[in-house]
Chains A and B, each alone.
Chain A
Amino acid sequence: MNRLVTVAEMTLRELTRRRGVLLLLLLMPLVFWMIRRDSYVGQSIRALFLGISWAVSTAALFAASGARELEPRLRLAGYRPHQLYLGRMLGLWVLGLAVAVPFFLLTVIDANNLRYAGIALAMLCCVAVAAPFGMLIGALLPRELEGTLLLLTVVAMQMLLDPASPGAKLTPFWSSREIATWAVDHTDAGYLSRGLLHAAVVTVLLIVTVAGVFGVRLRRRRHLHHAPLT
């Protein structure tokens, strides 16, 4: 547990020292929200969710890419793979929550007649999915440029696809749109339950895939044998 918390703490320390990154993490959802501010309130809130998802995914992508060279030596220092990826994910979840809180307050101040619990749940789903999603891209693509372009493609797809189309459900952040509909348009609870189920399934799938990728990359190699110390 100590190892996991230490990795989470160091991930947070690294990210919070990058002031420019922090500023952009807050700026991205803000810009998304402001662009849609004058139109229908549901549009601005959905854009805000997408901005949060994108910002946290990007932070996760860069955190995962930056740790590529450090992780093998941490493995040699006694860490197990799950302590490394779960610790990093934990740090990113905490950061994501810190990014989401001011925007939740913004919606409370700015918009009336919303189901605020739904807004909060949707933001939680965005953060829950975004951290393992960004980490997975960072783990699969060794160079940051390729990772960023892939992330851009996914988010653009998410924006352009009709949420009612079957393909939209395959995008990672579909859950936040569904919950937003429940929170803004006061639709039936089916939207909420579908959204929560989607977020839970996608998060678990992403964590399992991240575990698989890290497990392979940081595996104990078969040619290396450990003999007892004599």
Chain B
Amino acid sequence: MNADEWLRVFAAELHQRRVAVDAARHVVAEAATHLREGGGDPWLVFGSPQAYAATIVESIGTAPAPRPGPVRLDARGITKRYGRRTVLRDAALTVRAGQIAAVVGANGCGKSTFLRICAGLISPDAGEVTVSGRLGYCPQQGGTADFLLPDEHFVLVGAGQGLTREPARQAGRAAARQLGWEADRDVPARHLSGGTRQKLNLTMSTLAAPDVLLLDEPYQGFDQGSYVNLWDQLVRLRDEGRAIVVVTHLLNQLDRVDVVLDLTSSAK
């Protein structure tokens, strides 16, 4: 395990132990500086990432675990068939304010279909979804306009919420910065890399400050740093009281979520 990998595992450990996001970022930066300037194997300098994270938690404490709030999304008895094939059978999910839910399962088990039903984009054959508050949705791909600039996407989405141009632009750029992306360059969406385009996609879904955020594998094309930024952002939004549902097949992040819905058994 090299220094970068050690730092990544260390950062994940701090998050898992609910160290406040800003404090964790500060501690990781300090450790990185120490390793860069002093050199040496991080295992010899700090020990295992788990043990060092435990020491840090003892020293600075953890952020109080936010209490889950009222129910924001309640999906019950969701059944969906495509022809003779039943993709979802009686699927259910309840997510409260201040919770992250992960929807997992094998390829083709209906994860994206479930999310699109929750967003009201397609109808189920049976079941109901109740949403409390404003809904945001980030599709797995698409959902952006090839020839528009990032700022123009922010203005377009912001106008839907009654935002005027400048506040919409500022809100979009601020949300993009949380993902480690400076969105102030005049580059059409079609010239953005796959990962940056996905950041634009994600930024559009968080721009309107939704109470319920539905994300369909939002990390497509992300590098390691962007992936960490994404989860930092999700944890921050959760701590602000948002209810978040993430479709994922990366099981290594399940320790950072509060609710898991496994749809594998739902598919027939």
Contacts and interface: CB of A to CB of B under 8 A. Distances in A.
A complexed with B: yes
Interface of A: 2-3, 6-7, 10, 13-15, 17-18, 66-67, 69-70, 72-74, 76-79, 220-230
B250 interface: no
Contacts of B146: 14, 66
Contact of A73 (B124, B133, B205): B205
Contacts of A221: 120-123
Contacts of A18: 147
A3 B146 CA distance: 20
Nearest to B135: A76
For chain B, the bracket of interface size reads 35 or more
Contacts of B147: 13-15, 17-18
Given A17-B188, A223-B127, 9 more contacts: A13-B147, A14-B146, A18-B147, A72-B119, A73-B137, A77-B161, A221-B120, A221-B121, A225-B130
B39 interface: no
Contacts of B119: 72, 76
Contacts, number: 97
Interface of B: 70, 117, 119-124, 127-133, 135-137, 139, 142-148, 152, 155-157, 159-162, 164, 188, 204-205, 207-208, 211
Contacts of B123: 221-223
Contacts of B156: 6-7, 10, 74
B130 A13 contact: no
B117 A223 contact: yes
9 contacts: A3-B160, A70-B142, A74-B160, A77-B157, A79-B160, A222-B123, A224-B120, A224-B131, A229-B133
